[in-house]
Structure 1
Amino acid sequence: MPSPATEARAGGPRRSRQYLDALPVGLLSKPLAYLMADHLRQRVLCHVLDRLAEEDETDAGAAADVAWHLQHEMRLHVIDEEEDLFPLLRRRGQGDEVVGEVLGRLALDHELDAAMSREIVQGLAAVIAAPAGADMPEALREVLRALARNQRQHVALENAVVIPLAKQRLTREDLRNLSLRMAARRGVMVRLKEHEPA
């Protein structure tokens, strides 16, 4: 489903921003695949953040899409990991110190990224409301670049370590519960097949 900001636009070209839209609900039946698809969206987000940081004249539609994504889609993704995936991995990690260190680092990343996201949402709202042609503050450009940089590193670590660990260690019941909780968080229901891969 497109973001409200996207639907409100006058119809200019969206290019890669279409990939910031919500993922198909059916993919929630495969929770790890859903998280991987979300990581792809985050890489697209990084591209848009960098582009906004370099533009002489801010694309208001892109700015609104980014703000909406950070407030809604990114927030849900972090909750999926912090409240469900990471606790499951700790439970199945059997005291593995490496797993604990990686998850601890990622949790700190989430806190830092959340703070930057709040700053970006507020800053972009001010830019959108400003008169046409007004310059984006350099401080906001720096935060946009910083979030893009942090997110690229964060996603790379999760794809290289967390997702493979989850595929290896989580049980079928773990994955089923993860799927149901992620779906409930989004206010939807999913139909799970008994032998459906994650």
Structure 2
Amino acid sequence: MSSRVSQRPRCPRCNLPPHLCLCAEIPRVETRTRFLLVQHVVETWKKSNTGRVAALALANSRLLIHGAQGESLDTALLSEPGTWLLYPDGPTVPPDAPAPRQLVVLDASWSQARRMTQRVPVLRALPRLVLPPPEPGMLRLREPTHPSGMSTLDAIARAVAALEGPEAAAPLERLAALRVQRIAECGTLY
């Protein structure tokens, strides 16, 4: 805890420094699909984390923490009928499959997400929504470690566009772009 106390102050809601705070800009996005964000415990207080902002924007979402000492992940939520996993690799769902009722999103680095899928058997069994790689020129703060890698907020915006149309995804895309723009204008990664 003491390491966080010595850091610069951050907004308790969006986790960004006060001069970059996005809280006033976070839209309320209604979706048919429920988003279940499974956040790796290491990501919880990272300034670069976008999963928390995505969860704040999505009315039909829930944020769970994975890997906290002494706590286990409630896998019953992951096993609900109609649940898919948003993941950059693996077998895709047949085109004629019904849309998911719930989409699990791993909010973690690529290596953390890979380990999560290895250690949580129910994740390996879920049908996968595989997004195409990001377009060249996509606004980013840094280069991803995986060819299909992108921030959690960008991935969710693209999933919403694929499942519910571009109009539903537009507020999330604007929020992701605004976040990158504010941080870039600051001149450093915070």
Note whether the superposition's TM-score is higher than 0.5. Answer: no
Per residue, is there more helix in 1 or in 2?
A: 1
Q: Which has the larger radius of gyration?
A: 1
Shorter-chain TM-score: which interval?
Answer: under 0.3
Structure 1-normalised TM-score? 0.23
* TM-score computed with the length of structure 2 as normaliser: 0.24
